[in-house]
Structure 1
Amino acid sequence: MNVLQESFNNFDVLAFPCNQFGQQEPGANGEEINNGITHVRPGKGFEPSFTMFKKIEVNGNKEHPLYTYLKTYCPSTRQNFADTNRLFYSPLRNSDVRWNWEKFLISKSGKPFIRYDPSTKPQDIRNDILFLLQQKS
């Protein structure tokens, strides 16, 4: 996502850590999460050039209202859930984020435009970003 953040003016990548998927984000907010990113996953000294917010829940009974809003406009990218033994929330809903690194592209007016599967590579989002940046507000 760094490459997208650094490639466009008037475009921001916003990241919201979440520990609901395989408990892959157990760290406390701030330095502990940043150390995990830098040294573990993706590791190798990675430093995000985008804004990292505090950890939130994106699904279930304690779902953050931002994700309720995003999911209202963009259907899930997968029919099935990952191994439900590795999902740490309830209840399961069809609209749920399926795994870490699911992405939402938002228009200048704040409306969700499209939702990307966790496996979507940043370069596969580039044309959609260009399209939205060319639109009038």
Structure 2
Amino acid sequence: MLWQEPAGNGQELLNGIKHVRPGGGFEPNFTIFKKINVNGEDEHPLYTYLKEYCPATRQSFADPDYLFYTPLKTNDIRWNWEKFLVSKNGKPYMRYDPGTKPKDLKNDIMFLLEQEE
């Protein structure tokens, strides 16, 4: 996961989005934050917290020889587009596999929106 987006800072990430993928001058209508680590000894505390409360979506690594971080943990994020849904209170609710389409989260989102804070 570490080398999937080698660009280092926010401007480099934005340039990659604008000119490469998806390219064509695309400008996102959302804030681009800096790159952080989601696994390994330098993982961001937010992901440590989310992974502590939401079980892994896959039980094994496809090919650990291609991973460039240590240590490998069972609860690591396996691929881009894994999603975490968090309640209005900031509590992790569910973790979704990278293949889960955003529209498939609708029922869970609606459920959380109906909950009292």
Distance in 2 (alpha carbons) for counterparts of 1:71 and 1:40? 31
1:54 aligns to what? 34
1:80 aligns to what? 60
Two-structure CA RMSD over aligned residues (Å): 1.7
SS state at 1:113 partner: strand
Q: 2:46 aligns with which of 40, 57, 66?
A: 66
Q: TM-score, length-normalised on structure 2?
A: 0.88
SS state at 1:125 partner: helix
SS state at 1:110 partner: coil
Compared with structure 1, are the counterparts of its residues 128 and 49 closer, same or farther at alpha carbon in structure 2 (3 Å cutoff)? farther
Runs of 5+ in structure 2 lacking a partner?
none
Q: 1:96 aligns with which of 54, 67, 76?
A: 76
**Alpha-carbon distance, 1:86 to partner:** 2.2
Compared with structure 1, are the counterparts of its residues 133 and 46 closer, same or farther at alpha carbon in structure 2 (3 Å cutoff)? farther
Deviates more, 1:42-51 or 1:107-116: 42-51
Q: TM-score, length-normalised on structure 1?
A: 0.77
Compared with structure 1, are the counterparts of its residues 103 and 133 closer, same or farther at alpha carbon in structure 2 (3 Å cutoff)? same
2:92 aligns to what? 112
Greater RCO (Cα-Cα under 8 Å, separation 6 or more): 1
SS state at 1:108 partner: coil
**Alpha-carbon distance, 1:126 to partner:** 1.7
State percent identity of aligned pairs: 68
Number of residue pairs the alignment of both structures matches: 117
Matched, 1:38 2:18: yes
1:28 aligns to what? 8
Distance in 2 (alpha carbons) for counterparts of 1:43 and 1:125? 27
Alignment of 1:5-16 (within 5 A): none
